[in-house]
Amino acid sequence: MMKAKTWVIAKLFDGEPTESNFRLIEEEVPSPKQGEFVCEALYLSVSPYESSSDKAPLGSALMGHQVSRVTDTKNSEYPVGTLIQCYSGWRSRSLINPKENPEALKLLKVPNLAGKEPSLALGVMGIPGVTAYRGLLEVCEPKAGDTVLVSGAAGAVGSVVGQIAKIKGCKVIGFGGSKEKCDWLKSLGFDHVFNYKEVNLDDALTSAAPNGVDCFFDSVGGEVSCRVLQHMNDLGRVCVSGAMSSYNYGDKQPLMPSPFHACLYKRLKIQGFSVSSCDARFEESRTQIFKWMNEDKVKYKEEVQEGFEKMPKAFLTALKGKVAGKIIVKV
């Protein structure tokens, strides 16, 4: 029997959480039985959508992905030293049985990253990267010459969406929430970048997309997204990949303007996307992303905070959307 440190929900979120919503406890981790293994967290993902308190009842562990190393095993497919990514939550150590509920654990081996940090499996080489790739291609179906708009563009997903849209020959417009984020997006090759909090969106979109927007990859939702729909071309395609503006409202969602008017008159395709629907193409997708990374066509940014104790602080930073790229906690 070993011990693990685990962050649990001390108080359900009611609006924006604070550090008092989290508590660090010790849990016992049993020794592995046949087919099981124990792994120790190396890097943990903190993101508002993985770890909102509606995903975990009071007293239970915050959820989220991590990259961890197998340290004790009774499963020959996962020898000691194997690097995995799993959905173990904010735990320093976990017992895993790949046969029991592997879907919920979202267990994968970290691919060979040719010496790059395994933390990439939580960002550009993981769920955010594959979401960007598959969501853009399958829902937005971008063609060379199309104008693609990306909200939450400086996030882990949006930054990859914009770069892949550039690879596909599109004109790319990105929304970022600060000057630092907008500068970074420019350096990635986005054609037009706006701090959507500061500009008049109609003016900005009229100047950046005088012929309209063909594809909209949306991670945010709410009023800004409804405004974008007004600038879309007939038969435009919208990938609804996230709803950052409305997480943590729970059942107190604010009323939003309706997107249906624009949808009807412009004959838009507005489709939700979930990366879990493309498990079969996950490895193929990240192989392609890795190739682009090595060709310097896809770049990424990681903000690494050190120390398992920093999890709530890092999460609150992610929630405020202050940092460009992917926020990771290194244990």
Ligand X SMILES: NC(=O)c1ccc[n+]([C@@H]2O[C@H](COP(=O)([O-])OP(=O)(O)OC[C@H]3O[C@@H](n4cnc5c(N)ncnc54)[C@H](OP(=O)(O)O)[C@@H]3O)[C@@H](O)[C@H]2O)c1
The Cα 17–Cα 202 span in angstroms is 33
The residue among 32 and 321 lying less far from ligand X, judged by its C-beta, is: 321
Which tokens is 116 given?
């790059």
User: Using CB under 6 A, which of 205, 220, 314, 331 touches ligand X?
Assistant: 220
Residue carrying structure tokens 């179906």: 141
Report the residue closest to ligand X, judged by CB: 242
Backbone angles phi, psi at 161, to 5 degrees: -55, -50
User: Using CB under 6 A, which of 155, 162, 236, 312 touches ligand X?
Assistant: 155
User: Using CB under 6 A, which of 66, 73, 131, 285 touches ligand X?
Assistant: 131
Identity at 133, one-letter amino acid code: Y
The residue among 152 and 259 lying less far from ligand X, judged by its C-beta, is: 152
The residue among 8 and 278 lying less far from ligand X, judged by its C-beta, is: 278
- 157 touches ligand X (CB under 6 A): yes
What does DSSP assign to residue 183? H
User: Using CB under 6 A, which of 64, 126, 128, 129 touches ligand X?
Assistant: 128
- 192 touches ligand X (CB under 6 A): no
User: Using CB under 6 A, which of 32, 64, 118, 176 touches ligand X?
Assistant: 176
Q: Contacts with ligand X: how many residues (CB under 6 A)?
A: 29
What does DSSP assign to residue 91? B
Identity at 304, one-letter amino acid code: V
The Cα 271–Cα 314 span in angstroms is 31
Among 65-73, 126-134, 228-236, 284-292, the segment contacting ligand X (CB under 6 A): 126-134
User: Is 121 exposed, middle or buried, given 0-12, 13-18 or 19+ CB atoms closer than 10 A?
Assistant: buried
Q: Give, as ranges, the residues between 37 and 96 that touch ligand X (CB under 6 A).
A: 47-49
> Is the separation of the CB atoms in 220 and 158 below 8 Å?
no
Whole-number minimum distance, CB 177 to ligand X, in Å? 2
The Cα 185–Cα 193 span in angstroms is 7
- 285 touches ligand X (CB under 6 A): no
- 241 touches ligand X (CB under 6 A): yes
Whole-number minimum distance, CB 126 to ligand X, in Å? 9
Task: Please list the alpha-helical segments (H only) found in 177-256.
Answer: 179-187, 201-208, 222-229
User: Using CB under 6 A, which of 150, 204, 244, 262 touches ligand X?
Assistant: 244
Residues 6+ apart with CB under 8 A from 113: 120, 121, 125, 290
> Is the separation of the CB atoms in 216 and 262 below 8 Å?
no
The residue among 32 and 177 lying less far from ligand X, judged by its C-beta, is: 177
Summarize as ranges the residues that interact with ligand X (CB under 6 A): 47-49, 127-128, 131, 152, 154-158, 176-177, 181, 219-220, 241-245, 273-275, 318-319, 321, 326
